Chains A and B, each alone.
Chain A
Amino acid sequence: MPAPIIKIDAISKSFGTFKVLDGLSMQVMPGEKLALIGPSGSGKTTILRILMTLEKIDGGHIQVDGEQLYHMERNGQLLPADERHLARMRQKIGMVFQLFNLFPHKCVMDNVTLAPMLTKGVARAAAEKRAMELLDMVGLADKAKAMPAQLSGGQKQRVAIARALALSPKIMLFDEVTSALDPELVEEVLNVMRKLAAETDMTMLLVTHEMGFAHDFADRVLFFDRGRIVEEGKPDEIFRHPKQERTQSFLKKIIAAGHRV
């Protein structure tokens, strides 16, 4: 049995007086495709943001790829991570946001090549070659010179995926990546993610309200409520035979809202 690539150990996080995560622990295996579902405010997005170091934790430990994320080991002691340690750890992780967060003043190509050139010292020619491969993979090779404002939401999100992949992370975080899209554009983004899952052994964590996609895509589904994992299991167990009453009522509401499970 290989070691987990992400090991979250009793982390807690509050926003003001609101406790989002309360002693949460979970593990993710290398290559695993994990879906995090649950009502809004249940803490699932916060976990992704914490892994991307966009939020600090109040307590607990996180291990990513065998190393502490928020701590450094110095002479056998665990110290709070400094910016250099965080920068090194961030290389292992990429994230795609709900609202794409493309750089509006840069063309598609520059959006994808900026970080590899700046953070890894990749030469422009090599970075552009790699970017073209990635844009081809997401079906946007012909849009390399377009500005983000000229793209549809689905196209923007596919560029954002290519941009994150350009840094070759071991772990990809997808934070409600189709929630801001028009319904007819959702599928083109999901197709890219299916392709990615089929062609790479990347570890993928996915926060989503697309239950049908989570069912087909994930190896394991975690149901969150109020900062805790209420239930977890294989997609069929969670979606067809949920054991907890809280999971059942959540899924019922989702189906009533017209989502396919």
Chain B
Amino acid sequence: MTQWSGYLGLILQGALVTIELTLMGSVLALIMAFLAGMGRVSRFFILRAIATAYIEFFRGTSIFVQLFWAYFVLPFAGLSLTPLQAGVLALGLNVGAYAAEVVRGAILSVGREQYEACTALNLGRWQGMRHVILPQALLVMLPTFGNNAIELLKATSVVSLISLADLTFQAQVVRSQTGSTLMPFLSVLITYFALALIISWGVRTLERRMARGLDGVRI
């Protein structure tokens, strides 16, 4: 029994690494999503081009390959990252590319009449975006952001390939040390699922809070 609690401790340590990766990756993904998503709807060609190139590249190549580049290839360019840094970078850039399209779609989903009200009230482009368009678009983005965050959580398991001791990595460790397959894999399965549930619940709560007092028809 004491042996099992030790192994459970290993798995919990892995869960902490996974949570850390998910949180930091999500922050980077969120930043990239807004930069690239707003770049996509910019009136400047060069910003649209950069944003489109980023999105297409990171959606179009495998997260494994991106991670290997971040960890194994970047050092040749003089940039050595710890496994955690490489993991956050690859996950954030990858998921950010998907979420950028969510940001773009949500901005475009805000009705033309809202943009016209901004013009009639003489708000500048950025003022209108910041105070009128984005707050309304955010509500449209939230449910899909929840999806993206869960995708990111599950994708964190790839970091076990660069020997970062996350949940999946620790399960393999426990399995090789105990010879038991069911217990470690069952416990990581449940842990991932529980973490995903927490994300779902958090996003739904946020959504409800933000939608309070608004016209229900717009969601």
Are A and B subunits of one complex? yes
Residues of A whose CB lies within 8 Å of any CB of B are 52-54, 87, 90-91, 94-95, 97, 99, 101-105, 107, 114-115, 118-119, 147-150, 163-164, 167
Size of the B side of the interface (Cβ < 8 Å), in residues, is 21
For A54, the chain B residues whose CB sits under 8 A away are 116, 119-120
For B117, the chain A residues whose CB sits under 8 A away are 97, 101-103
Q: How far apart are the CA atoms of A95 and B117 in the complex, in Å?
A: 8
Q: Is the CB of B214 within 8 A of A147?
A: yes
**B204 part of interface (Cβ distance < 8 Å):** no
Q: Is the CB of B123 within 8 A of A119?
A: yes
With contact pairs A114-B121, A149-B215, A163-B121 given, residues A103 and B132 touching in the complex (Cβ less than 8 Å): yes
CB-based nearest A residue for B128: A118
Count A-B pairs with CB separation below 8 Å. Answer: 67
Q: How far is the CB of B187 from chain A (nearest CB, A)?
A: 43
Q: How far apart are the CA atoms of A40 and B109 in the complex, in Å?
A: 28
Q: Is the CB of B215 within 8 A of A90?
A: no
CB-based nearest A residue for B121: A115
Q: Is the CB of A104 within 8 A of B218?
A: yes
With contact pairs A99-B113, A147-B213, A147-B214 given, residues A105 and B135 touching in the complex (Cβ less than 8 Å): yes
Q: How far apart are the CA atoms of A18 and B114 in the complex, in Å?
A: 26
Q: Is the CB of B116 within 8 A of A167?
A: no
Shortest beta-carbon contacts, A-B, top 9: A115-B121, A101-B117, A147-B213, A90-B122, A95-B120, A149-B215, A101-B113, A119-B122, A105-B135
**B136 part of interface (Cβ distance < 8 Å):** yes
Q: How far is the CB of B80 from chain A (nearest CB, A)?
A: 45
**B124 part of interface (Cβ distance < 8 Å):** yes
With contact pairs A147-B213, A149-B213, A149-B215 given, residues A101 and B123 touching in the complex (Cβ less than 8 Å): no
For B113, the chain A residues whose CB sits under 8 A away are 97, 99, 101
CB-based nearest A residue for B120: A95
Main secondary structure of the interface of B (DSSP, over half): helix
Q: Is the CB of A94 within 8 A of B120?
A: yes
- Other A-B pairs, 10, CB within 8 Å; known A52-B120, A107-B213, A147-B214: A54-B119, A54-B120, A95-B120, A99-B113, A101-B113, A101-B120, A104-B136, A105-B139, A115-B122, A164-B120
With contact pairs A104-B215, A105-B135, A147-B213 given, residues A87 and B124 touching in the complex (Cβ less than 8 Å): yes
**B127 part of interface (Cβ distance < 8 Å):** yes
What are 19 of the A-B contact pairs (CB < 8 Å)? Answer: A52-B119, A87-B122, A94-B120, A95-B120, A101-B116, A101-B120, A103-B117, A103-B136, A104-B136, A105-B139, A114-B131, A115-B123, A118-B124, A119-B121, A119-B122, A147-B213, A148-B215, A150-B213, A163-B121
Q: How far apart are the CA atoms of A214 and B114 in the complex, in Å?
A: 28
Say which residue of B119, B132, B215, B216 sits within 8 Å of A53 (CB atoms).
B119
For A164, the chain B residues whose CB sits under 8 A away are 120-121
Residue from A53, A87, A114 whose CB has the most chain B CB atoms within 10 Å = A114
Q: List B residues 177-203 near A (Cβ within 8 Å).
A: none
Say which residue of B119, B132, B135, B139 sits within 8 Å of A90 (CB atoms).
B119
For B127, the chain A residues whose CB sits under 8 A away are 118-119
Q: How far apart are the CA atoms of A254 and B214 in the complex, in Å?
A: 37
For B119, the chain A residues whose CB sits under 8 A away are 52-54, 90
Q: How far apart are the CA atoms of A107 and B135 in the complex, in Å?
A: 13
Q: How far apart are the CA atoms of A245 and B120 in the complex, in Å?
A: 37
Q: How far apart are the CA atoms of A94 and B132 in the complex, in Å?
A: 18
B128-155 vs A, Cβ < 8 Å mask (1 yes, 0 no)? 0001100110010000000000000000
Q: Is the CB of A97 within 8 A of B136?
A: no
CB-based nearest B residue for A107: B213
